[in-house]
Amino acid sequence: MWKLADEILSSRLLLGTAQYPSLQTMRDAIHASGANVITVSLRRQSPQEKSGSAFWQYIKESGCHLLPNTAGCHCAQDAITTAEMAREIFQTHWIKLEVIGDDYNLQPDPFELVKAASMLIHKGFEVFPYCTDDLVLCKRLMDVGCRILMPWGAPIGSGKGLVNPYSLEMLRTRLPEVTLIVDAGIGKPSHATQAMELGFDAVLLNTAVALANDPVRMATAFQHAVIAGRAAYESGMMPERNMAHPSTSLLDTPFWHQEAQA
């Protein structure tokens, strides 16, 4: 169990709801993942598209915590307007804040992001900002009141995994009290495990599951990957060494004798 904002959750995997081949596949994948939180975009999905009203009905009845996002917004004001619509429709003050600054790699605009985050927090939202792994940007978001940060592992939908593990590890080290969720770029279960081994609190992904040949099995794989990574982090992983170190004691030397001497 862990705490996200003011909610107690059992799963550290957050799952998106876009691009699935069918509504039933999406439902089955969410169930298989064990996710307690699902994301939805008002600007890219509407009752008139995809599975129509059935999609929105399932979202409302899923039993999951809803995390609406502002995907597709390019300025603070658009993001704020979308967030206010989401709060009214879904009756939640949670919002995944996306303010895109570049259409090629979908990198967030740091200036508009901080501006929007500050205004939304003033309006009573719990803001989950999608940001880069830049430490200074993350600090600025915390300064305006963000308790949760969602740095990317790689550009959205790229599947490249953690392209800059050093920066992500530095965020975890320098910001020990903030909730950190890797968002974007996760392509394989091993990427999710790596993020969790760095000490991140959770992973959010969508494309890697939705576009898999078998989304339901892939969702299950990610569920196990996140659990394994978190367990490894909490257990204390052995440090890397530059030299070999025997794992088996010498003949006629009890291993407990060596440990006592150490």
User: Which of the following is catalytic: 3, 50, 60, 96?
Assistant: 96
- Report the 10 Å Cβ neighbour count for 35: 29
pLDDT at 250: 63
Helices (H), the chain: 23-33, 53-61, 76-90, 110-122, 135-143, 165-174, 189-197, 207-210, 215-235, 255-261
* Mean pLDDT taken over the chain: 91
Does 60 qualify as catalytic in the annotation? no
Asked if 193 contacts 202 with a C-beta cutoff of 8 angstroms, the reply is: no
- Annotated binding-site residue? 213: no
DSSP 27-56: HHHHHHHT-SEEEEETTT--TTSTTTHHHH
* pLDDT at residue 210 tops 70: yes
Residue identified by tokens 């025997």 is: 246
CA 155 vs. chain centroid, Å, equals 13
Find the mean pLDDT for residues 189-211: 97
pTM, two decimal places? 0.89
Alpha helices in 48-103 (DSSP H): 53-61, 76-90
Position of tokens 């998106």? 16
The response to whether 153 counts as a known ligand-binding position is: no
pLDDT of 92 strictly over 90: yes
Give the list of residues 6+ apart from residue 102 with CB closer than 8 angstroms, or none. 109
* Residue 18, C-beta contacts closer than 8 angstroms, at least 6 positions apart: 41, 44, 45, 206, 210
What kind of fold does domain 2-235 have according to CATH? TIM Barrel (3.20.20)
Q: Is 159 annotated as a binding residue?
A: no
Give mean pLDDT, residues 109-136: 97
- Structure token digits, residue 156: 């959205």
